[in-house]
Structure formats: structure tokens, C-alpha cells
Amino acid sequence: MVDHGFATDYMEKSFGGWPRSYPDGMGPDEVDAWPMPRPASFGTTPCAAAGRSATTASSPWPTSAGPIPGAKEDITWLDSWREYNQPRGEILFGSVPAIETLRPYIAEKTLGWSMEVPDQFRARYFIEELKEFEKSGKFPDLVIICLPKRPHHRHQRGTPKPTSHAADNDLAFGRIVEAISRSRFWKDTAVFAIEDDPQDGWDHVSGYRTTAYIASPYARRRQTVSAFYNTVSLLRTIEQILGLPPMNQFDAAAAPMTEAFTDRPDLAPFAAVPNRVPWTR
């Protein structure tokens, strides 16, 4: 949905049961064509058609982990934590595309959806990539980053507690925004963030709503915008910024998030707030 603006008929009818497969791409039987829309519906493909550049700094769905030559199998969270603190090259992260036409846009040296890999790894990977972009003076028009750590409802033994997952996610996102805001590309950049799904975040208003965040010199800072927007509104806003045509009737009909922006830029950089909850235990 976040990539292409709609869910296929298979997804709509199978959600919750998955009689064929659960298409998250993290296992050998989970790279399934049925849930996938046509490749032209993914955000990276319209960019290429319009002469825009796109990449993923942390491979989101639809990718799968491996096979990566020399990679250790059955990586645990503790394995990842040790490698993060003392890099020894013992763990090789990697992703391969579930749709071959998306290969040019996939970050092959990092993982998207894997709860065994801290989001700090993904943040570090992007920040290192950003340094290379700084050297070349060229930044992709569209960058998609997946930060999947969250207070997961299926807490696994040997992994930090759910609140630590949230702290890991928050800190990684903060580090990414800070790095971008201190780069040479900041004046022309907008960062959009949205949850995968609200799922366990019901409140007194609705079980279906979620939060979205925008960081940009042109975003209204320190303000909560209560206008009704949805996921395709976010996509429509990105399309209008980049001059892209709609991918389908859903994002074509969506209202862009105009109330979240101002025409007076504020170039002050962001500072990542240190985590108050340890993300390691």
C-alpha cells in the first residue's frame, strides 16, 4: 500500500487467513506474485519513467533476505548487536528483489523487514550512503527507507523488550532526519514518515487512524495538522513535489497534504533526541 497506493484483490480477500502465503518476502515461500500489483505501480518505477532517480536505503517489501553468498544463516538479534558494536564482517546483510524489474532500486547490502536486525544498522547504512551522495553532489529524487522495529506483539526470547524496539526505531529515525538536515541537500528535501499500520494503537477516536510525520524546511514545525489525510494523500504529495503522474485512481483522487506546508522555509537543522529507554535490553 505504501509503495503503490492500493491493495490487490488477493490481499483484500486473504488478509488474516493467508491460504496461499504471507507475502512479506522474508522466507523462500513468501515471494508471491499474487499480492503484487504490476511493477509500474511501485513508487520507484514512475520515477524512472519520468526521468527521476530513485533508490532504497533500506530495502522495503517486496524484497527477500538472501541468498547472500557467505552470509550466516539464522541471524539472531544478539548476533546483530555484537556486529553493530564491534564490526568484524561476520554477518553479511543483504536483500534481493522479489520483482526483478525493481533490482536497480534495491539496497542490496542491508535488510528491510527483519526484527533480528536493529534499526541502528539501517540508520548507519543510510548515513554512510548520504556521505557518498555528499561527495558526488547528487542525491536521488526519491529514497525509500524501511525501519521495521516496533513494540511487536509477538515478543521473542533473546530480544529486547517491546519498549526497547520502539526506542530503537525512534532513535534511528531521528538520526536519519538529523543527518539529512545537516547535509547540502536539506534545502530541497522533504522527509515523510508513516507507520506500517496502526494495528496495536487503537485510541478513543478510531482503530484505523495512525500518525504521519513530515520534516522539511517547508514543513510547519511544531504543529499538529488535524486535516483528514490517508496513505494515498502522502503518495499524492510526493508525486506532486516530484512532478510524477498518479499511479492509479486512488492516489489520483487523494488530497495532497497542503496544510502541512508553508511557503517560508526554515533551514535550521534537526537534532536527534537521545533515547531515554535503552534500545538494547
Cell of 164: 526497547
What pLDDT digit, counting tens, does each position of 51-65 carry? 788 777 666 555 555
- 3-state SS of the chain: helix, strand, coil percent to 5? 30, 10, 60
In this prediction the pTM is 0.88
Banded pLDDT at 67 (limits 50, 70, 90): very low
Amino acid identity of residue 83, one-letter, is: E
* Residue 114 or residue 145, greater confidence: 145
Least confident range from 126-135, 180-189, 196-205, 268-277: namely 196-205
Name the grid cell of 23: 507475502
56 backbone dihedrals φ, ψ, rounded to 5°: -115, 130
Q: Which of 248, 257, 160, 253 lies closest to 216 in space, CA to CA? A: 257
- Domains of the chain, with CATH numbers? 9-260 (3.40.720)
DSSP 39-89: GGGSTHHHHHHTT--EEEEE--SSEEE---TTPPSS--HHHHHHHHHS--S
